[in-house]
Amino acid sequence: MMRTHYAGALRAEQIGQTVTVCGWVAHRRDHGGVVFIDLRDVEGMVQIVLDPSADGLEAAKRLRPEWVLRVTGAVRARPDGTVNLDLITGEVEIGAVVLEILAEAEPPPFPIDEREGAANVDDNLRLKYRYLDLRRPRMARNLRLRHQMVSAIRRTMDDQGFTEVETPTLTRSTPEGARDFLVPSRLQPHLFYALPQSPQLFKQLLMVAGLDRYYQVARCWRDEDLRADRQLDFTQLDLEMSFVDQDDVMTAVELAVRAGISAVRGVELSEFPRITWDEAMSRFGSDKPDMRFGMELHDVSGVFAATGFNAFKDKAVLAIGVPGRGDASRSQLDGWTDRAKALGAAGLVWMRVRGPVSGDGAPEGSVAGLESPVAKFCSADELAALRGAVGVAEGDLVLVIADADRRKAQQVLGHLRLDLGKPERIDEPLALLWVTDFPLFEAIGADGRPVPAHHPFTQAHEADWDILEADPLAVRSQAYDLVINGIELGSGSVRIHQRERQQRVLSLLGIGPELAQDRFGFLLDAFRYGAPPHAGFAFGIDRLAMVLAGETSLREVIAFPKTQSGGDPLTEAPAAVDAEQLAALSIALRPLKK
RNA sequence: GGUCCUGUGGUGCAGUUUGGAGUGCACGCCGCCCUGUCAAGGCGGAGGCCGCGGGUUCAAAUCCCGUCAGGACCGCCA
């Protein structure tokens, strides 16, 4: 047996025992006659003392940070006045009798401890030496937090009667909408597997198979550009249930998410509120609203219905009030205007609330107490009505976006709302909510076909099937998203389990019977044999862990993540392969375009 | 595909706006001293392709162009 105790787990109870611990040298403090070593292992740190008479004293003087040691000695209480309350093990120390060097170490390329000024190491360097980065408290803590969260979620799924089933990672393309990662087949040259964007079709087949309640902690792949909250490969809690409605799924998911949060935060959240997609867009300009703060959108189109101001005339005119930002500088205002334009708006109208609607106190040039470059184009009645609708007070700022396209105006203003109002911390407080009644289709594509908002297996509202072909954009779906602090955690839907309806939707999407049969005929075939009504959900394990860890990047909760350009500085993936490997796959590389 | 930020001894930064000697801070590293420290302390020392390439200039870490890498965002990701 290499050790008897974890170094970081020693407490006053062990005083008097002789123990053997193993770990890494965190610090060495050499006082000449006596040497202190902080020995770190997975549980924490403990102080090793080499007294002037100790056999290991000479060896201890050679020690450097990150050397690996095995130390045997007696746990003893620290002398009066030397207890270290900053250390959990700070009441005790080990008087070393045997000190064994298991491995020497070169100085690490960056500090392992996260003392002030050394916490922010370049991402590239951290990832190149990820095994050292993972020794640091932040990452060690995050990986454990993630495990505890997933562990609690798994227990909750088990308690609810779910069966975990693994599905293939070498499969064929699923119609999720993102680019597939392709894997060439050696046994069948010129054919390709695709890595799943989700186990969508397999879990529906498991419902046909009568499994009733399936879940999986599933690895998924999407070949799209990365973001702070998007990785090429990521993990979902994927689930599907038979003979259920939307509420049943939401309840099951909510239990799992709340258990995960409880496990790492120790808080029991109450039931998540639900709002419809239309309400989310109208009030927050986003289908994943951050509900931790107000600054809701106000539709003031009616106020300007007959305005003489052309920028507002015959447009959807939306406004938000920004509390206390009436003192924003011109360059800040210009910056937000640039942001609005970058997001596709024609411009941004700002108004400083400088005084009362009428009477004294309003500065020169203001109308209805509003100071703005465009105030002179609007009537006092219009601006007074605007103030009333937005509900601002003196010292506030009003931002107005006008656009012929109401959705675009909502989205732009929704972004500005986040830019100006989002709380600094990503994880406090926690505000989760359901967004329901997504439209079945989000737009009409360039080919004249509707574009699915979720995926083509999503059930429409029962009452809306009549207008599927006639007015597709008005069709509501039985699809629902879960949102945490303005981040989309996951989405799900009631599925179409009727073969005829499925073919209607596919045909509307321009996927004819032959193409449908070729791409997912196996699902349509399965529906011939008695498909139960079913519904499901999937949410991002990485994203939930990220928020609960208080991190703003997925990289901080993934052991070996990719950079923004999709590379791994540690393994240097992706990499070229041997000509022989390509030949075995019957693949020839074409020259890169300049 | 696009916009923006960053790149300076091993690490984290300042210096770049207004061109003038590789100047500075903290940590780390190496050596010596030191018996109660805990981010120990004291004394001494080493360490630089200012990401890379080109241009402007008498002179470039600093200005310009390109490029690479990392990051944030838009497009994309149902």
DSSP string, A199-234: SHHHHHHHHHTT--EEEEEEEEE--S--BTTB-SEE
The dihedral built from the CA positions of residue A410, A412, A417 and A418, taken in this order, carries a sign that is: positive
- What is the spatial order of strands in the sheet that A233-242 belongs to? A163-164, A213-221, A233-242, A534-540, A487-494, A479-484, A432-436, A274-276
Q: How many CA atoms are closer than 13 Å to the CA of A59, on its beta-carbon side?
A: 20
Whether omega before A429 lies within 30 degrees of 0, making that bond cis, reads yes
Is pLDDT above 80 for A436? yes
Beta-strand runs (E) in A104-252: 163-164, 182-184, 192-194, 213-221, 233-242
Tell me the three state secondary structure of residue A268: coil
CA dist A106 and A95 (Å) reads 26
A317-367: per-residue pLDDT in tens?
A: 999 999 999 888 887 888 888 888 888 888 899 999 987 777 666 666 678
Q: Which of residues 308-367 of A touch strand B (CB under 7 A)?
A: 342-343
Chain B nucleotides close to protein (CB under 7 A) are: 1, 3, 10-13, 26-30, 33-41, 69-78
In chain A, list all ranges with CATH 2.40.50.140: 7-103
Q: Which nucleotide is nearest to A555 (CA to C1')?
A: B71
A354 CA → B57 C1’, Å: 52
**CATH code of the domain made up of A294-421:** 3.30.1360.30
Give the global pTM: 0.94
In terms of Cβ atoms closer than 10 Å to its own Cβ (0-12, 13-18, 19+), residue A423 is: middle
Q: Which of residues 36-55 of A touch strand B (CB under 7 A)?
A: 36, 38, 47, 49, 51-52
Please give the protein residue whose CA is closest to the C1' of the nucleotide B11.
A110
CA dist A532 and A496 (Å) reads 10
Question: Which CATH fold would you assign to the domain A7-103?
Answer: OB fold (Dihydrolipoamide Acetyltransferase, E2P) (2.40.50)
Domain A139-269+540-581: CATH class, spelled out: alpha beta
A232-248: per-residue pLDDT in tens?
A: 999 999 999 999 999 99
A500 CA → B74 C1’, Å: 40
8 Å CB contact between A65 and A105: yes
Q: Which of residues 445-474 of A touch strand B (CB under 7 A)?
A: 451-455
Question: What is the CA A207 to chain-centroid distance, rounded?
Answer: 28
**CATH code of the domain made up of A429-532:** 3.30.930.10
Is pLDDT above 80 for A549? yes
Please give the protein residue whose CA is closest to the C1' of the nucleotide B78.
A454
Residue A14: count other Cβ atoms within 10 Å of its Cβ. Answer: 19
Q: What is the DSSP letter of A406?
A: H
Q: Which nucleotide is nearest to A47 (CA to C1')?
A: B38
Q: Which nucleotide is nearest to A342 (CA to C1')?
A: B74
A563 CA → B48 C1’, Å: 28
A494-544: per-residue pLDDT in tens?
A: 999 998 899 899 999 888 888 888 888 899 999 999 999 999 999 999 999
Is pLDDT above 60 for A52? yes
A31 CA → B43 C1’, Å: 15
Cα A279-A282-A286 angle, rounded to 5 deg: 90
Arithmetic mean of pLDDT, A25-33: 94
Q: Which nucleotide is nearest to A37 (CA to C1')?
A: B38
- The DSSP H or E segment spanning A49 is strand A44-50
In chain A, list all ranges with CATH 3.30.930.10: 139-269+540-581, 429-532
For A93-102, A395-404, A447-456, which range has the lowest pLDDT when averaged over its residues? A447-456
A232 CA → B76 C1’, Å: 13
How many residues are present in chain A?
594
CA dist A487 and A229 (Å) reads 9
Q: A29: Cβ under 7 Å from strand B?
A: yes
